[in-house]
Chains A and B, each alone.
Chain A
C-alpha cells in the first residue's frame, strides 16, 4: 500500500465521509448536495465521499449501526462522527465536525 495512504486506504489528512441516504428522497438529495458543497468549499483538495443507498444496501447500514437516513459518517480524520439530517446548516455542521468555521463570502 502506498505511503501516502493511511490504514483505510485513504489519502493522509483527507476528509473521508460516508453518506447513508435513501435513493432520491428529498432530505437525502439535499444532504448529498450540501455535503458536496461543504467539501468543495472547505477542503477542496482532499475529500472523498462514499454514498451508500440504504434502499440498495440496507445491510451495510445495519452493519454500521445506521438506522435513519440521511446520515453522514465522518470516517477520517478521527474521531469518527455521525450527523443525521439534511446538513442544511453549514456552520452547525462545521462546528459538529470540529472544523474551523469560516465566514462565508
Chain B
C-alpha cells in the first residue's frame, strides 16, 4: 500500500514544481514497490493500453488453499469421479460418510462401493449427468463400510465444469430413509421383451387374413401356398413367444398355479399337439410309463410348456426315421422322473453345460442347420425349477442321441407332506402363487 497526499495549500511556483516532481517520483517508486509486492494487477500505459499482470505463484497457491478450505469445510463428502467411475479426488468428509480411511478409496471404482441392488440407480444417475442429460441427479444407495456396517448414503451428482472429459462430482451425505429402489430389467431383457411384443402384434391380423383367404373358394388353387404362409407365420409367432418367455423366465416373473396333474396324461396331450411335427419328421414315439405314482404338483400350462419344449427339442434333433422313447418311473421317493430319449445328433460332453444356456445351440453349425433361437431348453429348465422340479441332460456324445430327465414333485408325497396336498379351496378362489426362480 502507498499513500500520496496532495498539498492543499499553494507554495511559490519554483518550489511547487520541485515538490510536485519529488512527489511524482515518490509516487512512481511506491507504485513499483506495490507491483513487485504483487498487490497490483494491471498497469495503464500512457497510450491508454492496459496490461494485466499475471498473479504471482504465491497468489495462485493462496487461491488454491482457499478453495481447499471451502471444500474441506462443507458438510458433504465431495469426490470427483472420472467417466470410468474411478475416484480421482475427495475431501476428508468422504471417508466419514462412507466409513473408509481417507485415502483408501482413491483410484477405486465408485461402482464397487455401491450395493449391488442399487447399482442400476447409480448407473442411471451417473450416465445422465456425465452425458449432460441432467445437470444434477440425486439418488440413494446402500453401501457397506470398512467395518462391515451397512449405511444408506444420499448422493447428488453434478458434471464437473472443467470442460474436461465428463468427470462427475459426487456430494455424499448420510441418508435417513431407505434407498430409492429402481428395479429395471437389464437392458437386453427389456429390449427383448419390447421387441417380441412389438413384432408379435402385427402377426395376428396377418394370420387371420391368411385363414380367411384359405377358406375363400376363389383362392382354392393357392391353398398350398397359403398353408405354407400359415406355417411360417405360426413359426414366427412361436419364436417371438419364446423370446418373451425368455424375458419372463430370466426376470423371475413367472406366475404359477400349482395343482394336481396326471403327468402321463399331460405327456399324451403334448404329443397330440406335436403330432404334425412328429409325423413330418417320420419319428416313432415309444411310451413306457412304469411309475405307479404319476400325479404331480405343478402348474398345468407351465408343465405342458416344459414337456412341449423337451419333446420338440427331441424331434428337432432326431434323424428322420429315428425314434423317441418317453419313460416314467418313481426313482426317488416323492418324485416322478420322466426320461425323454432320442436317437438324434447327440451332444458332445463339452457342450452339455451349454444346452440350458439362453441363445445356445451347440456350435454355430447346429444353429445354421436347425434354426430357432436356442431358448427352448433355457425356458424349459427355468419353468421346471420354478415348479420344484429339475431338468437335466445326458448324452454319450455326438451321434449317440440324448436323454433329458425331468423330475417333478408328486402331489401325494408318501409322508409328512400331507399339509401340502390338503384339499384347498376351489381353483378359482385360490390366489396365484408367485414363484421366484
Residues of A at the B interface (CB closer than 8 Å) are 21-23, 25-28, 54-55, 58-59, 61-62, 66-70, 78-87, 89, 92-93, 96-97
- Indicate whether A68 sits within 8 Å of B43 (C-beta atoms), given known contacts A55-B50, A59-B48: yes
Closest to B30 in A: A84
**B46 interface residue (CB < 8 Å to A):** yes
- Indicate whether A79 sits within 8 Å of B3 (C-beta atoms), given known contacts A25-B52, A69-B44: no
Starting from the known contacts A22-B41, A61-B44, 18 additional A-B residue pairs (CB-CB under 8 Å) come to A25-B41, A25-B52, A54-B44, A55-B50, A58-B49, A58-B50, A62-B44, A62-B48, A66-B44, A67-B44, A68-B44, A69-B40, A69-B41, A70-B40, A79-B7, A84-B1, A85-B37, A85-B40
Q: How far is the CA of A58 from the CA of B49 in the complex (A)?
A: 7
Q: Which residues of A contact B35 (CB under 8 A)?
A: 68
**B5 interface residue (CB < 8 Å to A):** yes
**B224 interface residue (CB < 8 Å to A):** no
Closest to B42 in A: A22
B44 touches A85 (CB 8 A): no
Q: How far is the CA of A66 from the CA of B37 in the complex (A)?
A: 18
Q: Which residues of B contact A83 (CB under 8 A)?
A: 1-3
Most chain B beta-carbon contacts within 10 A, residue among A62, A70, A82: A82
Q: Which residues of A contact B38 (CB under 8 A)?
A: 27
Q: How far is the CA of A59 from the CA of B35 in the complex (A)?
A: 21
A55 touches B42 (CB 8 A): yes
Complex A-B, nearest 8 residue pairs according to Cβ-Cβ distance, in ascending order = A22-B42, A25-B41, A96-B3, A85-B1, A85-B39, A27-B41, A69-B42, A61-B44
- Indicate whether A82 sits within 8 Å of B50 (C-beta atoms), given known contacts A26-B41, A69-B40, A69-B42: no
Tell me, rounded to whole Å, the shortest Cβ–Cβ distance linking B24 to chain A.
9
- Indicate whether A25 sits within 8 Å of B42 (C-beta atoms), given known contacts A78-B8, A81-B6, A85-B34: yes
What number of residue pairs across chains A and B have CB atoms under 8 A from each other?
Answer: 96
Q: Which residues of A contact B44 (CB under 8 A)?
A: 54, 58, 61-62, 66-69
Q: Which residues of B contact A84 (CB under 8 A)?
A: 1-2, 30-31, 34, 39-40
Q: How far is the CA of A10 from the CA of B45 in the complex (A)?
A: 30
Q: How far is the CA of A61 from the CA of B49 in the complex (A)?
A: 10
Closest to B45 in A: A67
Tell me, rounded to whole Å, the shortest Cβ–Cβ distance linking A48 to chain B.
20
21 contacts between A and B (CB under 8 A): A25-B42, A27-B39, A27-B40, A28-B41, A28-B42, A55-B52, A67-B43, A68-B40, A69-B41, A69-B44, A70-B40, A70-B41, A79-B7, A83-B1, A83-B2, A84-B31, A84-B40, A85-B34, A85-B37, A87-B1, A97-B3
Q: How far is the CA of A28 from the CA of B407 in the complex (A)?
A: 85
Q: Which residues of A contact B52 (CB under 8 A)?
A: 22-23, 25, 55
**B59 interface residue (CB < 8 Å to A):** yes
Q: Which residues of B contact A68 (CB under 8 A)?
A: 31, 34-35, 40, 42-44
B3 touches A82 (CB 8 A): yes
**B102 interface residue (CB < 8 Å to A):** no
B50 touches A22 (CB 8 A): yes
Q: Which residues of B contact A55 (CB under 8 A)?
A: 42, 50, 52
Q: Which residues of B contact A87 (CB under 8 A)?
A: 1
Tell me, rounded to whole Å, the shortest Cβ–Cβ distance linking A60 to chain B.
9
Tell me, rounded to whole Å, the shortest Cβ–Cβ distance linking A86 to chain B.
5
Q: How far is the CA of A54 from the CA of B45 in the complex (A)?
A: 11
Query: Which residues 1-16 in B have Cβ within 8 Å of A in the complex?
Result: 1-8
Q: Which residues of B contact A67 (CB under 8 A)?
A: 31, 43-45
Closest to B46 in A: A62
Tell me, rounded to whole Å, the shortest Cβ–Cβ distance linking A101 to chain B.
14
Q: How far is the CA of A67 from the CA of B44 in the complex (A)?
A: 5
Tell me, rounded to whole Å, the shortest Cβ–Cβ distance linking B30 to chain A.
7
**B255 interface residue (CB < 8 Å to A):** no
**B101 interface residue (CB < 8 Å to A):** no
A54 touches B1 (CB 8 A): no
Q: Which of A59, A61, A81 contacts B5 (CB 8 A)?
A: A81
Q: Which residues of A contact B63 (CB under 8 A)?
A: 26
Q: Which residues of B contact A79 (CB under 8 A)?
A: 5-8
**B333 interface residue (CB < 8 Å to A):** no
Q: How far is the CA of A86 from the CA of B5 in the complex (A)?
A: 18
